[in-house]
Chains A and B, each alone.
Chain A
């Protein structure tokens, strides 16, 4: 086979009807403002952890909304809980609170 320097990618179709959205529901019930996020990414733009690691809080929340939580524990551990994201958020969503709630949920689930 010829190598062209690029390859095809597999379809990444997400079936929301079958996805496990329990974490999203838990977060919304404990912190309804979670739903106000417009995924603008301002939080990621100012994130200190993102400057040092691959952490992306916008992507983390997007993945939770899609039920993709396999790598959540590793990702959320990168957050330094500094709260800069809260200060920039145009919708006054507290990502700090969301991260703490996710941590609480993960500990309840996995110890």
Chain B
């Protein structure tokens, strides 16, 4: 990394991130993949930072997956987005926070569409009123949840219990950051640091003590293209894209991968299991794989939250080696116990990837 040059570029792509009073829109898939991440985000915002955020049960999908797989027309997406904005307005809020990178891309795209085609915005008003008798007002501030954690990264660092430092060697942990394509590749000015040198995750890693790994396929897609993954016959493309990234990052011996997109965190985790069982390959020296975390999970770890409260037991690649490196205190026996002490059952043990 050459910080001077990067800083110059990053400075070009700064965005306004509201200070407080947010309307929270959850991610459809993240609630299933890593449910602990979203609850941790709310816990950090309300408990640690004292912010006001509305977790509204009335909001729906943004239609992102259906939109990108050509199952719904743009008018439907536009009307659903308009309804979300109407709910935010009814709640007296004007700062919209999307938990999903695909949703963030959808909202950004629709706002851009309305900006360039005011008649489409007018049509959205008509369609929404016809369907729900609601009126909407566009958000004053639209951000992704990772933007919020980025904004308050120093506050989190000040409250931190752990740093991203190897407890035994005293060296900073080496972190691979992966930005979801829809965060800034479509609208570079809407992402902190732009599309080519996004700073949103780099900022967190550096503030919390880690070192960022710059590797050749850093900006390559994780492979979670909806058209690739949803059609089983095309899944080879998906796993191949992830494999390309793993092969590119492995020589740098990263301690973990950090992503800001639901699909990326999931596929960079699960495909390691698939590649291990399919081809007998793992991407670390000891056969444990490279843990793949979300930024809320990492923030939670840094703040000293219990790893099993963060939902780290839902990862396919074992996180315990990373917890040991950081020095996180945890109860190994509580990994697969529910909050009320019931046994949740263990996942099937992979043949190659150690678990």
Q: Which residues of A contact B (CB under 8 A)?
A: 1-9, 11
Contact = CB atoms under 8 A, between A and B. Distances in A.
A2 B244 CA distance: 20
B278 interface: yes
Instruction: Describe B's contact surface by its main secondary structure.
Output: helix
Contact of A8 (B232, B234, B239): B239
A11 B278 contact: no
B274 interface: yes
A15 to B, nearest CB: 15
Contacts, number: 35
A4 B279 contact: no
B278 A1 contact: yes
A6 B279 contact: no
A7 B236 contact: yes
Given A6-B234, A6-B236, A7-B278, 10 more contacts: A1-B277, A1-B278, A4-B277, A5-B232, A6-B232, A6-B235, A6-B239, A8-B239, A9-B237, A9-B240
B275 interface: yes
A13 B127 CA distance: 48
A4 B239 CA distance: 11
A4, A6, A8, A11: most-surrounded residue (chain B CB, <10 A): A8
B243 interface: yes
B236 A9 contact: yes
Nearest to A2: B277
A6 B233 contact: yes
A6 to B, nearest CB: 4
Nearest to A7: B236
25 contacts: A1-B277, A1-B278, A1-B280, A2-B277, A2-B278, A2-B351, A4-B274, A4-B278, A5-B232, A6-B232, A6-B233, A6-B235, A6-B239, A7-B236, A7-B239, A8-B236, A8-B239, A8-B240, A8-B243, A8-B275, A8-B278, A8-B279, A9-B236, A9-B240, A11-B244
Interface in B235-257: 235-237, 239-240, 243-244
Contacts of A2: 277-278, 351
Contacts of B244: 11
A76 B283 CA distance: 43
